[in-house]
Each structure stands twice: as structure tokens, then as C-alpha cells.
Amino acid sequence: MSYPGYPPSGYPSFPGYPPTGQESVYPPASQYSYPAVPGGFPPVGGSEYNVAPPTGEFPGIAGYPAAPGGYPHASLGYPGLPQPGGMPTYPGGAGFGVPPSGSGFGYPQPQSQTYGGGGSMPISAGYPGGQTPSTPLQPAALTQSMEGTIRPAPNFDAGRDAEILRKAMKGFGTDEQAIIDVVSNRSNNQRQQIKSAFKTMYGKDLIQDLKSELSGNMEELILALFMPCTYYDAWSLRHAMKGAGTQENVLIEILCTRTNQDIQEIVKCYKSEFGRDIEHDIQADTSGHFERLLVSMCQGNRDENQTVDYQKAQQDAQRLYQAGEGKLGTDESCFNMILASRSFPQLKATVEAYSQIANRDLLSSIGREFSGNVERGLKTILQCALNRPAFFAERLYHAMKGAGTDDSTLVRIIVTRSEIDLVQIKQLFTQMYHKTLATMISSDTSGDYRRLLLAIVGQ
């Protein structure tokens, strides 16, 4: 089964990289950085890892045919690769709205990420037949900034902002522009301080006041911006499984794209805020191989060693081929084990190796062997290993494409990526769809909701 709507030319590489003078050392791909420090936000999927072996080690793949309707491969600088409803009411439970403590919930927001040697291992001549040495080569560190459109405001004064918001909501009518000017120019951590200052100064809950003044999509967007980051992920997961029906795409989007630390904090927040075990809720709302994949994701236990083992990549590629294309039927547990446990740089190397073994892109093979939600979950993991901002750009495009708008998806991605990599998402969106994200938002939304979205994306 294909994953519909992906750009036929594949995901474009990130412009302006690698740095001048280093083209002969690494493939001319979009190589982003990956933090070695635990807790750093996950890198841009796929382009940040240098997992292609030195020239001549893998056989060439020019002319490799793309599978019809297959999932597109990120354009990573390797010629010949195949180109393969509304949010529920805002919660008011105890504990919400308190500025996070030192151990509280929230994504770390590094300004840049470092690529420092996880992916260039010397390989003996004739690989894949040779043995990889035990000591990895440590190339000169490369950096590629990850950039959000929202950054902490300088000279921040929580009390002054609380006063501005109070005046905007006091009396007859609401000054929506004043609210937009404040919330779109403050980081999530600063918004938590504004909530606390508002209650201290006026003895009122800012969230309740905002809810009484706003409605519809504008209310949903404002309230999402005021939720602590990890709480927002946990809350989105809870409401994706609450009541009749399950929003499987929300489960996939969050659980298959976050880092180990993110997942562990989400699981902890889910338990403390909602008094429920997320794994039990997943088991109650999903089934089969999709359930097993999500349970694996909830462990937050993916290997995070950034050194790529090319021999293991070759072995994993062979195992995946034998579990799918190379046999009658599919060994689903093999796919689950490899995609749920290997590091993202390692998975990218496996994708490259698989092309040599199977004469088919791994994403296309997953489309042939799986269907439905488990197919989408497995493909999302590989998309994040290949090019994470491109994955989110595609999600945004399909939230607005055609008749109607998936406002909850639009809000969720804009809010959660605004301090991480929304700049890169915007650039890739333009390359992939030949229109800017702001242009598409303008044509699909209106009023104060449109103005706030555009302010967040930097227009």
C-alpha cells in the first residue's frame, strides 16, 4: 500500500550544506546534527546523519527503479535512489498551569545540534564482506543549526505581559491583536511564567479568562500555546484515545517521532495528570501489530548510540528482506524489532543497505508487506530517520490540502515545532510543494486564527 500524497520528486535536501571545502569528505547531502547529550531534542530526520559508506564501499545504485505508488525516499544526495476533527475541551485539572520545576515537563530547546562522529566508520576494503574495525573514526565536528520561529523574548517581564493580557480581556470586547502580540513572541517557558504572574496579580486563572473570551480554532490554538510542551503531547494522546473511536494518526505522529527522553517524560506526565497508564490505554484502543509497535514506542528505549555499524546495517537489511520480500508472508515481529530498537542513524544506513539487497526501497517494501495503521507507523519511523522536518511538512500540507482543514493537526504541529525546527519545516515545505507554508495557511484559515498562525510561523 502506498502512502498517498508524497511529492513525486522525493524530499529535497536542506539548502547550503555541507560547508564549502568539505564536499569531498561527506556525500553532498542534507546533513543535520544529532545531540550526543541525553535529552537533546531529536534531530532533523535523515539529513543530519552521514551514514553512507566511503565511496566505492557499497555498489552503485543508479538506475534503481522506484516502486509505483511507493513512499518517496528523502533526497539525500545519493544519486539513483528510488523516489519512493476538533480538539476536546481544554482540561482544568489540578496541577495544570503551574510553571514547570527543574524536573518538570518540557522539551529542551538547543539552538544548534552537533554531528560529531556518529556515522563515519572506517571500513575495510571490499565491504560488506570485510569486518568493521571496533574503533570508529571521529571526523571534525559539523554543526547545523536547528531553528524555531519562536525564541525566548529578551527583557522578558511576566508581570508586564500579564497586565497586557488582562487589559486585552477587560471590559466590553477583546483586543485579540494584543493577545497575539504577546503569545506569538514568547517561549513556552515564558508563557508558563505569565500564567503564574496573572494569578498572583489578579487572583484569576488566565486560562479560564482566555476561554471565556475566545472560541473555535483561535481558542484551541491559544490554549495549546499555554500548555507545557510535554503536557500538550500527553494531553493530545489522551484525547486521541478518549471516548468513542481512536485518532490513530495522532498516536503515530507523537509516539513514533519523539526521543527516548521525550517518551519517558510523556509517559510520566500521562500518569501524573490523568491517573492512567498509557500502555494500558493503547492496548485497550488498538490491536494486533499496530498495538505492539506503539507499545514498543512507549518504552522510550531506542538505541541512541550515534556510531553507525555498517555491518549490522547490512545484516539488518538482510533480515528485513528475508522477513518480507524474500518469503511468502511477512514476519512482522522482525520489522517491529529493528525499527523500534535501532538508532535513527543506524536505520538510515539500513535503508541504504536494503536497496542493494532487495532491489527495492525499504519504504516501498513496507507498503507491499503491511497496510493500515501499522504501515503508517513503520513508515513514520523511517521518515524520521531520513528527514524529520520533511515528514512534518508533509503532515501540514495534507492537513490543509483539498476541501476542509484538519485544524487540530495544523495547530498541534505548528505549536510543537515552533521552538524546534519550524524554520526548516517551512523551507522544505516550499521546496516540496512550490508554495510557502504561510500562503497555504492564509488560503485555508481566517480572522484572528489566521493572524496568530502566521505570527507563529514568522510572517
402 falls within a domain: yes
Q: Is the bond into 136 cis (omega within 30 degrees of 0)?
A: no
218 falls within a domain: no
At residue 98 the predicted structure's pLDDT band, cuts being 50, 70 and 90, is very low
| Cβ atoms within 10 Å, residue 454 | 17
Q: How many residues does the chain have?
A: 459
| Claim to verify: residue 422 and residue 439 sit in the same structural domain | yes
The three cell numbers of residue 248 are 490513530
- The DSSP secondary-structure symbol of 48 reads T
Find the range with the poorest average confidence among 130-144, 201-215, 277-291, 300-314.
Answer: 130-144
- The DSSP secondary-structure symbol of 150 reads -
219 falls within a domain: no
Q: What is the pLDDT of residues 271-321, one digit of tens each?
A: 999 999 999 999 999 999 999 999 999 999 999 989 999 999 999 999 999
143 falls within a domain: no
332 falls within a domain: yes
Q: What is the pLDDT of residues 358-384, one digit of tens each?
A: 988 999 999 999 999 999 999 999 999
At residue 145 the predicted structure's pLDDT band, cuts being 50, 70 and 90, is low
d(CA 206, CA 245): 32
Amino acid at 240: A
Contact 219, 210 (CB under 8 A): yes
Percent of the chain with pLDDT strictly greater than 70: 68
Residue that finishes a domain, picked among 386, 404, 429 = 386
Residue that finishes a domain, picked among 345, 361, 386 = 386
- pTM (two decimals): 0.71
**The domain spanning residue 324 has which CATH number?**
1.10.220.10
| Claim to verify: residue 326 and residue 379 sit in the same structural domain | yes
Contact 355, 361 (CB under 8 A): yes
d(CA 13, CA 32): 10
| Claim to verify: residue 342 and residue 399 sit in the same structural domain | no
Q: How far is CA 297 from CA 79, 240, 263, 336, in A?
A: 32, 16, 8, 10
Q: Is the pLDDT reported for residue 133 higher than 70?
A: no
Residue that finishes a domain, picked among 386, 403, 428 = 386
Q: Is the pLDDT reported for residue 82 higher than 90?
A: no
Quote the number of domains for the chain: 2
Closest to 392 (Cα-Cα) out of 424, 438, 435:
424
At residue 335 the predicted structure's pLDDT band, cuts being 50, 70 and 90, is very high
Contact 371, 237 (CB under 8 A): no
Can you give the residue range of the structural domain that contains 322? 310-386
d(CA 142, CA 48): 10
Helices (H) and strands (E) counted in the chain, each on its own, are 19, 2
Q: What is the mean pLDDT of the chain?
A: 77
